[in-house]
Amino acid sequence: MGQKSIIPFGPQHPVLPEPLHLDLVVEDEVVLEAIPQIGFVHRGLERLVQKKDYNQFVYVAERICGICAFGHSMGYAETIERLMGVEIPKRAEYLRVIWHELSRIHSHILWLGLAADAFGHESLFMHCWRLRERILDLFEKTTGGRVIFSVVKVGGVFRDIDKSQLDEFNHVLEGIKDEYSQIVNAFLNEPSVRNRTYGVGVLSSEDAHNLSMVGPFARASAVNYDVRMLGNGAYGDLSDFQPILSNNCDCYARMEVRAAEVVQSIEIIKELSARIPDGEIAVPVKGSPAFGSEACNVLEQPRGECYYFAKGNGTKYLDRMRMRTPTSQNLAGMAVALKGCDVADVNMIVLTIDPCISCTER
Amino acid sequence: MALATEFVPLQLDRLRDTAHRMKDEGWRFIQTHAAYNEPNVDLYYSFMKDGNVVNYRIEGVTKEDPVPSITDIFLAAFVFENEARELFGVDMRDIAIDFQGGLYAPAETEPMRIISPEQKAQIEKARKAAAAKAAKAAGASEGAASKADAPAAQSSWKLSDEKRAKLEEKLKEMDPAKAAKVRAALEAKEAAAAASSKEAPSAAAASSTAVPAAKAGEASGAAQSPSPTENTAVGEALAADAPGRDDELEAKLALLGEEKAKKVRAALAGKPANVDATGADAPAGHAIDDAELEAKLALLDADKAEKVRAALARAASAVEGE
Amino acid sequence: MGVFKLGKMTFGSLFKKPETVLYPIETKPQPAGLKGHIEIDVSTCILCGLCEKSCPTDCITVDKATSTWSTNPFACIQCGYCVTVCPKKSLSMLPGYHVANTVKDRVVATVPEKAKPAKKADVAKAPEPAKADEPAKVVEPAKSADHAKPAAEAKAAEAASLEQGELRIDAELEAKLALMSDESAAKVRAALQAGK
């Protein structure tokens, strides 16, 4: 029997994309308990809503996170539209969803690259990020930005995607499919990768449900929940949407789910771009949110369900804006999944919840 | 199934019972957050099941009220409960993973409780406007019974001058649609005033007379006047004059009946002559008008802005003719 | 299951052009809609200050006294909100990033004072303003002419303020008319015409 000791992990650690600190209580090589600690990059963005008016805050919202930037601006705008009772044109809904799914693809490919890096597969990492570059180029052409797009506004979107650009979307996405399938093949079938991920960091289905986990992390533990299946906005027009689930509950399952979601997103973009209606892309929004009005909204970000809450006070500044991001929810599940794992697997498990600490702390 | 959201009030002592019930019924915990509702804090607990989001709102939690943690039921709440304690000063008890105030370790204690005087004034104004509106709406629907409510609505405007009180009286005699128009116009004006007060130095915002003066000073700056004392003299006179006229004008505009239109005509008839008489002085005034007008135009949509511009051009040529 | 799943891709990339470019010798072409920097068309700008008010990072400054519009490219986040609120469409977001620099300089544009008085000159018989196509320097005489005015104003501060109040009402009236429904606006306008 070894002696209990505490290993501090993070906030600076090669595998962590963002600052998260864990106190790992270990005995021999086994983690008995992991206590998460965040709070290194708190920026007070929820407070900033009282200083920037509700139109300006779209740009603040999308700077909450660099990877789910589009999702945050979309979720925020939808919340304000609910708050003020604004109905946006159908075409704007479609455009938002197309961009949102595109950013899901780029986020998941980025994550796959990070995962490859975490278990030490350098060339796989580079191939992933090479593919992601194609998606960023699509963003650059249609929105004018590569990471932060600034195309969403309360009441619609600023820019339209014309027919030729939609065709280019589909062309590029078809083009990466072949290379992508080779990469996924390496992830899912390479023995060295399997050895590092199979049966590691198990979070049982009951735990995932009881802890209210969200996103691919939960779906890998067979929790049948994806905000997209509620059919908000253009998601309601999809002919069929089934969340991608896995019963394995381990790191391998999380990789599997994310890998399959990229293909699913490509299909969604293909379907929506084929039936996108013509028309306006924005409606004018006048006035301010009424005094005491409240609204909430949920949106499926690449990392999972994100909850937005807004409260108006009759001025153009909001009284309170709340964004509950997927990672803050998943931290509890991560702490549970870490129990009983090897110290060497900690980085892999932490990474598979796809932590986005900047989101969590805002 | 589409997303359905609702907000349900809840008593603090029912919190843990409710959390237990939600857990038993298979609801998913979404989040907890606090919102500052001066002088206390509102706590929100959100749950979801099958596309229904229920937000339980616990109103008026004071600093002294101990709030039991629900982390033993839903562990995921630990981040949010720590956050509510650090940023809002909510007395959270027994959090499973307790950071002891070290989550964000903010430099100021309870930073989310701080509201600047300007913000407070703005919110207060909006609150009163909303209250007056609600009282008015209630009054309109209840007919005769509303007369009892009316003084309350009026007293809520006590910040403003007597003219405003008179206006309120007039509003009550009108039919609801017209009254609504007048109110909309008033609100727009208030919003503009609020915006300008924000620009003014924070000290100026404290006293109501300083605000128009600052605004006028800014406007005279646009007219490129060199002397600050003269600016203020002109500006103050202008500021003192304008609000009263505005109120009258708005009331008249809202009435818009045939007879009332005559009143508007009468009120405006004298103006072109004045413009001619003051020749040299007018440009300065107009520079102000133009800047403001353009700003307002920009807020409108394209068609309407076009209309206003056309109307202005007509007015201009009319004056020229005289 | 087998080993070396990436073999095809890895060997293939031996014979392909590299994905990266030899920066800075080569640069990536910038697409037309890229958000690089803001540019102002001073010939249409009316110095209304809406861009200043709407900017989320407060990087734009509109100075009416000196007729200048300036921006701090180091604070600008290329959101493009100013471009969408500009009533005269004077602002545009163009490709081309602002180059790195050792000092945080500002981009300053001087707005010639022409377009503004065109309307007013008719209404109020203002002193001859600078002509539309003359450069900004010519603003100076117009300015000094303006300087003389306030002195006169000060004398008759009371009277002047009355007229200015009326003028303000005129402008505000028009703005409000635009907010009303078409019929009601038409009524007021008819009344106005009759009055004149």
pLDDT at C186: 67
Q: How far is CA B49 from the centre of its chain?
A: 35
pLDDT at A42: 83
Which residues touch C185 (CB under 8 Å, ≥6 apart)? B307, C177, C178
The reply to whether residue A319 touches residue B30, judged by beta carbons under 8 angstroms, is: no
Residues 152-191 on C with a CB inside 8 Å of B are: 152-154, 156-180, 184-185, 187-191
The reply to whether residue C163 touches residue B278, judged by beta carbons under 8 angstroms, is: yes
Give the nearest partner residue to C150 out of B226, B262, B266, using CB atoms. Answer: B226
Burial of A302 (0-12, 13-18, 19+ CB in 10 A): buried
The reply to whether residue C179 touches residue B283, judged by beta carbons under 8 angstroms, is: no
Contact A165, C94 (CB under 8 A): no
B24: CATH: 3.30.460.80
* Pairing mode, strands B66-68 and B91-93: parallel
**3-class DSSP state of A191:** helix
Q: From B84, B113, B142, give the residue that closes a domain.
A: B113
C6 shares contact with chain B (CB less than 8 Å): no
**ipTM, two decimals:** 0.84
Same-domain status, B128 and B261: yes
pLDDT at B170: 54
Q: Tokens at residue B68, please? A: 């039991």
> Which range of residues forms the domain containing residue B102?
4-113
Would you say the pTM of this structure is higher than 0.80?
no
- Beta strands (DSSP E) in chain A are 4-9, 21-27, 30-37, 152-153, 156-157, 294-301, 304-312, 318-324
Give the nearest partner residue to B3 out of A47, A298, A331, using CB atoms. Answer: A298
Q: How confident is the model at residue A191 (pLDDT cuts 50, 70, 90)?
A: confident
Q: Which residue from A minimizes the CA distance to C8?
A: A182
Same-domain status, B259 and B135: yes
3-state percent breakdown (helix, strand, coil) of chain B, nearest 5: 65, 15, 20
Give the nearest partner residue to C64 out of B181, B221, B285, using CB atoms. Answer: B221
Q: Which residues of chain C have pLDDT under 50?
A: 1, 115-163, 165
C34 shares contact with chain A (CB less than 8 Å): yes
Mean pLDDT of chain A: 85
pLDDT at A273 over 70: yes
pLDDT at B270: 44
Burial of B190 (0-12, 13-18, 19+ CB in 10 A): middle
Give the span between the Cα atoms of B33 and B60, in whole angstroms.
14
Angle, CA of A192, A194 and A196, to the nearest 5°: 75
Question: What is the DSSP code (8-state) at residue A287?
Answer: S
Q: How confident is the model at residue A351 (pLDDT cuts 50, 70, 90)?
A: confident
| CA within 13 Å, CB half, A159 | 23
- Lowest pLDDT segment from A85-89, A318-322, C116-120: C116-120
C195 shares contact with chain B (CB less than 8 Å): yes
Which residues touch C109 (CB under 8 Å, ≥6 apart)? C40, C42, C45, C68, C69, C70
C72 shares contact with chain A (CB less than 8 Å): no
Same-domain status, B260 and B286: no
The reply to whether residue A140 touches residue C80, judged by beta carbons under 8 angstroms, is: no
How many residues belong to chain B?
A: 322
Sorted by where each begins, the domain ranges of chain A are 41-330
Q: From B269, B285, B313, give the residue that closes a domain.
A: B269
Contacts of A191 in chain C (CB under 8 A): 1, 3
Question: What is the DSSP code (8-state) at residue B25?
Answer: T
Q: From B269, B290, B312, give the residue that closes a domain.
A: B269
Chains that touch C (3 or more CB pairs under 8 A): A, B
Q: How far is CA A26 from the centre of its chain?
A: 31
Cα torsion A190, A191, A195, A199 to 10°: value is 70
Give the nearest partner residue to C33 out of A52, A127, A144, using CB atoms. Answer: A144
Profile chain B (322 residues) by mean pLDDT over runs of 10 residues: 77 84 85 83 86 85 83 83 83 79 74 76 78 75 46 40 52 56 60 50 39 41 40 42 48 49 50 42 46 57 65 60 48
Alpha-carbon distance values, A108 to A114, A150, B1 (Å): 10, 21, 27
Q: How close, in Å, is residue B300 to chain C by CA atoms?
A: 8
The reply to whether residue A158 touches residue C33, judged by beta carbons under 8 angstroms, is: no
Where do we find the tokens 């249609």? A142
Give the nearest partner residue to A296 out of B53, B123, B130, using CB atoms. Answer: B53
Contacts of A148 in chain C (CB under 8 A): 77
Is domain A41-330 classified as CATH 1.10.645.10? yes
**3-class DSSP state of A22:** strand
Q: How close, in Å, is residue C181 to chain B by CA atoms?
A: 10
Q: How confident is the model at residue A197 (pLDDT cuts 50, 70, 90)?
A: confident
Contacts of B222 in chain C (CB under 8 A): 64-65
Q: How confident is the model at residue A173 (pLDDT cuts 50, 70, 90)?
A: confident
Q: How confident is the model at residue A251 (pLDDT cuts 50, 70, 90)?
A: confident
Q: Which residue from A minimizes the CA distance to C56?
A: A56
Contacts of A183 in chain C (CB under 8 A): 6, 9
Same-domain status, B246 and B141: yes
Sorted by where each begins, the domain ranges of chain C are 37-110, 156-196
Give the span between the Cα atoms of B65 and B88, in whole angstroms.
13
Contacts of A143 in chain C (CB under 8 A): 33, 35
pLDDT at C117: 47
**3-class DSSP state of C25:** coil
Give how many domains chain B has, as a whole number: 3
Alpha-carbon distance values, A243 to A240, B2, B267, C30 (Å): 10, 16, 67, 37
C10 shares contact with chain A (CB less than 8 Å): yes
pLDDT at B175: 54
Domain C37-110, CATH among 3.40.50.1700, 3.30.70.20, 3.30.465.10, 3.40.50.300: 3.30.70.20
Q: Which residues of A271-300 are buried (b: 16+ CB within 10 A; e: fewer)?
A: bbbeebeeeebbeebeebbbbebbbbbbbb
The reply to whether residue B233 touches residue C196, judged by beta carbons under 8 angstroms, is: no
How many residues belong to chain C?
A: 196
pLDDT at B198: 46
Overall average pLDDT of the A47-76 stretch: 86
pLDDT at A150: 85
Same-domain status, B135 and B87: no
